[in-house]
Amino acid sequence: MAEGQFGVAGLGVMGQMVALNIERNGFPVVAYNRGAENADHMRKISAGKNVQVTQSITEMAALLQKPRKVLIMVTAGAGTDAVIAELKGVLEKGDIIIDGGNAHFPDTNRRQEELSAAGLHFIGCGISGGEKGALLGPSIMPGGDEQAYKLVEPVLTKIAAQTEDGACCTYVGAGSAGHYVKMVHNGIEYGIMQILCEAYDVMRKSLGMSSSEIQKVFAAWSESEISGFLVEISATCLAKADPDTGKALIELILDTAGQKGTGKWTAQTSLDLGVPTPTLSMAVQARILSGLKPQRIAASRVLKGPTAAAAADRDAVVKALFDAVYLGMVTSYAQGLALIQEASKEYNYGVELSEVARIWKAGCIIRSKILDPIKQAYKADAGLVNLMMDKHFSAVVNRTLPALRTVTQVAAATGVPLTCLGASLAYVDSYRSEFLPANLLQAQRDLFGAHTYKRLDREGTFHTEWEEE
């Protein structure tokens, strides 16, 4: 008899953890993986639990109650299409497929169209929280077919992280909204991670602090109003000793970082939609630069930095760094949320930003204390053009901006690159400028390409012969 209430297809670590989470919350699971290794491991860790593991997609379909609900947990891309193709062969009209991977949103649109033509419901669903989150309560960002969502809502809200503000799961919007929101979540994740790395770099290079001294700073920040998962794990990373050498492990790790695509897609879509996301985009550039290790080694011997000694007033700079990081985090959220807002208009997603902030408050990688006032800001004004224009956040920006200036000065004087904090400063300074130098830009364009320009003092479009014959 079909007793399974929820199918999980793809039993890598994330799939295994989500399957256990669903079962723990009272829903019998049918877990599917064609390959033996993952299936065997799932059998082992789910022994005695209400999980049926199968390596046959046909058997999974037979074991599930109708309408069947299957959550795909495979690496985004071709793997997702392959599982969907298999599922199409065994599912029936009215069944529901949920893609829980980090899919690129255009793929989600395409899959939704294809599956809807086949009479199947599709939910593109962002899931954040890593392995631990998947098991204990992730943040879940489902989008797409709303009617179908209603049918899976009891399961998704139950397995999600829980807060005093409700479950960290809500229907975020139509079409590919779920994966779009998750992609931007990751863009913000890239921004905040890089900002914390830059704070670390200022402390070690500009201030000459040891790893254990820096660790204490991050640990203190973990108890502050900017506390959150990424600040906490930075303290944890800095506390770890290498068992072989006894040194701080962080000092032995190669300084090049990879990426899987979501940060890059965030930068790309922000260019497509014309929404400025300098902090998020520069975080991607910082990772690319980190990858040029051999070039950097060669250049370090040719291109000279300043010879300035380490900054004198360590305590003052550490204090300023707190505010700089705070503002960097605020600009990261501000840019990401402005991007979602524009995408929601462009693609008719119908996203409610206060709800997005609410479901990011726990379970996900970018959870932080800042998200509660962010939720309140968008609750008070759903159409808020920029987070920095909210009363609470404009006060935060005004309070922290001088410190960000100090930190960038210290970093510039000591030759430490602030790829993202510098971008955040320029973002705030641009955004708060009534006048930018684009008047000269317009004149340049008009000079060499007759692109025309507009004037401040008159209506109309103008062209000037700029050069004497």
Residues labelled catalytic: 182, 189
Q: Which of 215, 262, 270, 400 binds ligand 6PG (CB under 6 A)?
A: 262
Q: Are 159 and 22 in contact (CB under 8 A)?
A: yes
Q: How far is the CB of 75 from ligand 6PG (least distance, A)?
A: 9
Q: From 26, 8, 268, 277, select the one nearest 127 (Cα to Cα).
A: 8
Residues 334-353, mask of contacts with ligand 6PG (x by CB under 6 A): --------------------
Contacting ligand 6PG within 365-394 (CB under 6 A): 365
Q: Which of 7, 28, 129, 144 binds ligand 6PG (CB under 6 A)?
A: 129
Q: How far is the CB of 14 from ligand 6PG (least distance, A)?
A: 8
Q: Which of 49, 66, 247, 260 binds ligand 6PG (CB under 6 A)?
A: 260
Q: Which of 120, 364, 387, 396 binds ligand 6PG (CB under 6 A)?
A: 364
Interface region with ligand 6PG, contact rule CB under 6 A, candidates 78-86, 256-264, 267-275, 396-404: 256-264
Interface region with ligand 6PG, contact rule CB under 6 A, candidates 114-122, 254-262, 311-319, 381-389: 254-262
Q: From 69, 109, 62, 130, select the one nearest 366 (Cα to Cα).
A: 130
What Cα–Cα distance (Å) separates residue 269 from each residue in 101, 192, 336? Answer: 19, 19, 11
Q: Are 420 and 408 in contact (CB under 8 A)?
A: no
Choice between 66 and 260, CB closer to ligand 6PG: 260
CA 97/CA 82 separation, integer angstroms: 13
Residue number of the CB atom closest to ligand 6PG: 128
Interface region with ligand 6PG, contact rule CB under 6 A, candidates 1-9, 105-113, 124-132, 194-202: 124-132
Interface region with ligand 6PG, contact rule CB under 6 A, candidates 48-56, 140-148, 259-267, 424-432: 259-267
What Cα–Cα distance (Å) separates residue 46 from each residue in 13, 58, 136, 196? Answer: 13, 21, 15, 38
Q: How far is the CB of 286 from ligand 6PG (least distance, A)?
A: 12
Angle of helix 177-201 relative to helix 314-347, nearest 10 degrees, comes to: 170
Choice between 11 and 428, CB closer to ligand 6PG: 11
Size of the site for ligand 6PG (CB under 6 A): 12
Q: Does 130 bind ligand 6PG (CB under 6 A)?
A: yes
Interface region with ligand 6PG, contact rule CB under 6 A, candidates 31-39, 128-136, 343-351, 397-405: 128-136
Choice between 365 and 396, CB closer to ligand 6PG: 365
Q: Are 290 and 283 in contact (CB under 8 A)?
A: no
Q: Are 203 and 214 in contact (CB under 8 A)?
A: yes
Interface region with ligand 6PG, contact rule CB under 6 A, candidates 127-135, 205-213, 354-362, 406-414: 127-135
421: CB partners within 8 A, 6+ apart: 195, 198, 199, 324, 325, 328, 404, 407, 408, 411
Q: Does 290 bind ligand 6PG (CB under 6 A)?
A: no
Hey, what are 322's tokens?
């707190």
Choice between 263 and 422, CB closer to ligand 6PG: 263
Choice between 28 and 101, CB closer to ligand 6PG: 101
Choice between 194 and 215, CB closer to ligand 6PG: 194
Half-sphere exposure of 284 (CA within 13 A, CB side): 18
Q: Does 189 bind ligand 6PG (CB under 6 A)?
A: yes
What does DSSP say about strands 51-54 and 29-32: parallel, antiparallel, or unpaired?
Answer: parallel
Q: How far is the CB of 102 from ligand 6PG (least distance, A)?
A: 5
Choice between 129 and 191, CB closer to ligand 6PG: 129
The residue length of the chain stands at: 469
Q: How far is the CB of 106 from ligand 6PG (least distance, A)?
A: 18
Binding site for ligand 6PG (CB under 6 A): 102, 128-130, 186, 189, 259-260, 262-263, 364-365
